[in-house]
Structure 1
Amino acid sequence: MRKRVVITGLGVVAPNAIGTSEFSKAIQEGRSGITFQPDLADLKFSCQIGGIPPITEEIKHQYFSDLQLHQLNSSGVVYGVVAGIEAWQNAGLSVAGEEPDWDSGIVFGTGMLGVDKFREAIYKVDQGQVRRLGSTVVIQTMTSGVSAYLGGMLGCGNQLTANSSACATGTEALLMAYDRIVTGSAKRMLAGSCSDHGPYIWGGFDAMRVLPYKYNQSPKRASRPLSATASGFVPGSGAGALVLESLESALERNATIYAEVLGGHVNSGGQRNGGSMTAPNSMAVQRCIQKAVEQAGIQVSDIDVIDGHLTATMKDPDEVRGWVNALQRSGADFPYINSLKSMVGHCLSAAGSIESVAAVLELHQGFIYPSINAEDLHPDITAMIAPEKIPQQRIRKDINVVAKANFGFGDVNACVILTKFQP
């Protein structure tokens, strides 16, 4: 018998806020976390802005010892640990004692982890200083580094792993955790993803000319999903984390239930029919959405809000068209649609998890966050859906179903259906 799966814990490290409570306020207010980055200007980047979480030394010391911080070069590890521990504590879960918690596991994904540590290691190896690399170089650069850190800190004894699927990583991690619980292989899973920041990660995108360069003096206006003047995505970083749990376990613990995961789907377009390494196959996008709806056991008319991928590139109208075709809903009948990237930028491998936290907060607290900087909606988009379906200000509204999707490099897609919990 398949288990019902609910979300009982949330944690977030985002460019516009640290911690779930402050993050909820920020996204409701439409607060941008995108700022000018002097180091990018010094390195002659065309795009000199980005979204970097305001993590302080005080916050770091709540999670790491002085010795750990002395050797810790990976911002992604810091972000992942902070978000993961917050989600675990938010769920009211304790740290395992001498014996591992066999019922709890972790799926925590990333894209490129520890690039600064790699750079440091390369210089020391080239200079013949291998013995001075330190003892943490491996765990800071291996893809499963955050899962390993969190697994040891929490004492999880179930599956401990990491995934990497470009921009779809966070949503895929959530669905991997869901699959583990729905089959009874685990009682609870910590799911999330993180992304480092900085010139060594963002430089490749700047070279591809997919980042905006006209807003270096007005960074908060730069990320413009759904807008006619969108000119590229603003790079961001951070981490999101969610505790998924069987309904039986959550009720037994009398845990707060933020939302229920009804199901979802993951697929690839095979880089066919217009799909490529950097562009999605529209047929695969539509199939991913339709299969997610089917697997969740809902009707397309049940969807109240779409939390889109929507990166502020020329592909935004194509994404909206994919939703219109997949759901067979348009005009005023189309669900509300928004993009968190308008406030935090594109957090790459962390995008799906941070945006999933936002979607769960919408369901639990009864609001739809705005897509800022979309005052000049793209005409191709307004030809398909009613302009009022793209909120410019927060809407206070009870909503029941959110469809959350991300589409990543390599022509990979992930879509999850979340709903308000009904006993």
Structure 2
Amino acid sequence: MSLNRVVITGLGAVSPYGVGVETLYAAMTRGQSAITEHPDLKAIKGLRCHIAGLVPELDAREIPRKHRRTMSRMSVFAVLAAMEALESARVDESLRRSEQTGVIIGTTVGSPQTLQDFFAEYLREFSIEQVKSSLFFKIMGHTCAANVAQALGIGGRVMAPSAACATGVQAIGLGYEAIALGRQGIMLCGGAEELHPLTVGIFDIINAASTGYNTDPGRSPRPFDARRDGTVCSEGGGVLVLESLDSALERGVPILAEIIGFASNSDTTNISTPDPGRIEQCMRLALADAGLEPGQVDYVNAHATATELGDPAECRAIARLFGDAVPVSGFKGHLGHTLAASGALELIAVVRMLQDGLCLPTLNLDQPDPECAMVRHVREPEPRIMDIAVKNNFALGGVNASLIVRKFAEHAARHPERHY
């Protein structure tokens, strides 16, 4: 069966640094931390983590009010990111409304703040008299995907994977498969998340949240570091425009990168403790999908949550597959863990790295933990020509996802029938 080649033509981001891909990438290249104290977390009894990555105040009025009324913060993030991605990919209204243009954007859950507001009112008198008709559209599981489709007039399929921290890469991978198989021509893919104390609390309860840097928030999280003490939750939204190579060439739009492989598997050894063998197998499956050998990979962007068990498991898997020569870094030291948005926001940075020939480091990695020292960690920005990168995303619940992305060469556009 002949498959379509799939390329990335648009990027859009809302991150703890602010709105826009350039805002995100510029801050990361400066080595700037997006983590700050979050006063609301201090008010929660029993919650030990008081830091987070919060999206700065933004102006959502660019979104028409008739659409905003069904949006929580996470949907606003997703729509603004999608708008930027569509603009950068030069996708006009007529193309958006085509049945060949679809959306795959996921979240961990629907808006937790909206649920809190509802139950605070409901439990007071067990009444629904004050409930607004827009409530459901903010809490449904596909709230971001549906609101993006409605606000931007997307005419094709709408899908909303929910695989916790693996959601972003899964969404992009599903979009890649849909285009490769010819089911859709263009897809908006990614994830979004809004911060809520309950999210931070879940990580705290399972002893996976950072608690020792509340007075020095920029020093945490610390992926792979000997003094790491857990992850830091953040919020934001990342969206990429994927389309077939034929479509991009016909439209004459800049091609930012090519997606050449994807895999997702299940780790049934433990619902919360990752198995290096299953992580390794996921990456192997993605490489097989791309038709590559491990030695052809130039860089691995790790999931790297800065947790006690997650970081060593991923490092062991990477070392088994790639040895100790391939550069490895993770971006949660910069951004915190944006959960369902992490795969998309981090992949956006990887695409920019491939374009610029710059390998960004793991922020806050001062002294690698001996259990994580078997791979080649990037600890300072490195000018480096890179063609092929692996992007990992793993989730509680045993969901693994890996994506292979390749820098797009101009000669490939002139000979689209050939594989590079």
TM-score by length of 2: 0.93
Alignment check: 8 A CA contact 2:279 2:400 kept? yes
Aligned residue identity for 2:226: A
Alignment check: 8 A CA contact 2:167 2:341 kept? yes
Q: CA deviation at 1:64?
A: 4.1
In structure 2, the residue corresponding to 1:294 is in which secondary structure? helix
Name the residue aligned to 1:347.
338
- 1:108 counterpart = 2:105: yes
Q: CA deviation at 1:128?
A: 4.7
Correspondences of 1:61-210 after superposition (within 5 Å): 61-65=61-65, 71=69, 74-96=72-94, 100-126=97-123, 127-210=125-208
In structure 2, the residue corresponding to 1:239 is in which secondary structure? strand
Q: CA deviation at 1:317?
A: 1.8
Task: Give the percent of matched residue pairs that are identical in Structure 1 and Structure 2.
Answer: 31
Q: CA deviation at 1:367?
A: 1.1
Q: CA deviation at 1:377?
A: 1.3
In 2: Cα distance, 1:103 partner to 1:232 partner? 42
Aligned residue identity for 1:322: A
- 1:375 counterpart = 2:366: yes
CA gap 1:253/1:237 in 2 versus in 1, 3 angstroms: same
In 1: Cα distance, 2:357 partner to 2:192 partner? 27
Name the residue aligned to 1:291.
285
Aligned residue identity for 1:122: F
- 1:421 counterpart = 2:375: no
Of 46, 49, 52, which residue of structure 1 is paired with 2:51? Answer: 49
- Residues 319-365 of structure 1, C-alpha deviation per residue, up to 9 Å, x if partnerless? 111111123x22xxx21111110011111111111111111111122
Aligned residue identity for 1:54: P
Aligned residue identity for 2:282: C
Aligned residue identity for 1:9: G
Alignment check: 8 A CA contact 2:70 2:147 kept? no
- 1:5 counterpart = 2:27: no
- Residues 177-206 of structure 1, C-alpha deviation per residue, up to 9 Å, x if partnerless? 001000111111000101110213222222
- Residues 208-262 of structure 1, C-alpha deviation per residue, up to 9 Å, x if partnerless? 2211111111000011001000011111111111000000000111111110000
Aligned residue identity for 1:46: R
In 2: Cα distance, 1:55 partner to 1:364 partner? 30
Of 288, 296, 300, which residue of structure 1 is paired with 2:294? Answer: 300
In 1: Cα distance, 2:136 partner to 2:76 partner? 15
In 1: Cα distance, 2:206 partner to 2:370 partner? 26
Alignment check: 8 A CA contact 2:79 2:151 kept? no
Alignment check: 8 A CA contact 1:13 1:82 kept? yes
In 2: Cα distance, 1:68 partner to 1:248 partner? 33
Alignment check: 8 A CA contact 2:200 2:209 kept? no
In 2: Cα distance, 1:222 partner to 1:125 partner? 38
Name the residue aligned to 2:239.
241
Q: CA deviation at 1:132?
A: 2.3
Alignment check: 8 A CA contact 1:17 1:26 kept? no
Name the residue aligned to 1:404.
391
- Residues 364-385 of structure 1, C-alpha deviation per residue, up to 9 Å, x if partnerless? 2221112111111112322x23
Alignment check: 8 A CA contact 1:9 1:89 kept? yes
Aligned residue identity for 1:101: S
Name the residue aligned to 2:379.
392
In 1: Cα distance, 2:340 partner to 2:388 partner? 24
Name the residue aligned to 2:417.
none
Correspondences of 1:356-367 after superposition (within 5 Å): 356-367=347-358
Alignment check: 8 A CA contact 1:362 1:368 kept? yes
In structure 1, the residue corresponding to 2:389 is in which secondary structure? strand
Name the residue aligned to 1:14.
15
Q: CA deviation at 1:73?
A: 6.8
Aligned residue identity for 2:174: M
Segments of structure 1 that go 5 or more residues without pairing to the other structure are: none
In 1: Cα distance, 2:237 partner to 2:139 partner? 16
Name the residue aligned to 2:416.
none
Name the residue aligned to 2:272.
278
Alignment check: 8 A CA contact 2:199 2:233 kept? no
In structure 2, the residue corresponding to 1:346 is in which secondary structure? coil
The alignment's C-alpha RMSD in Å is 1.7
In 2: Cα distance, 1:409 partner to 1:308 partner? 16
Segments of structure 2 that go 5 or more residues without pairing to the other structure are: 413-420
What stretches of structure 1 move > 4 A for 4+ residues in a row?
none
Aligned residue identity for 1:106: V
Name the residue aligned to 2:37.
36
Aligned residue identity for 1:396: P
Name the residue aligned to 1:321.
316
Alignment check: 8 A CA contact 1:30 1:371 kept? no
TM-score by length of 1: 0.92
Q: CA deviation at 1:72?
A: 5.9
In 1: Cα distance, 2:18 partner to 2:71 partner? 21
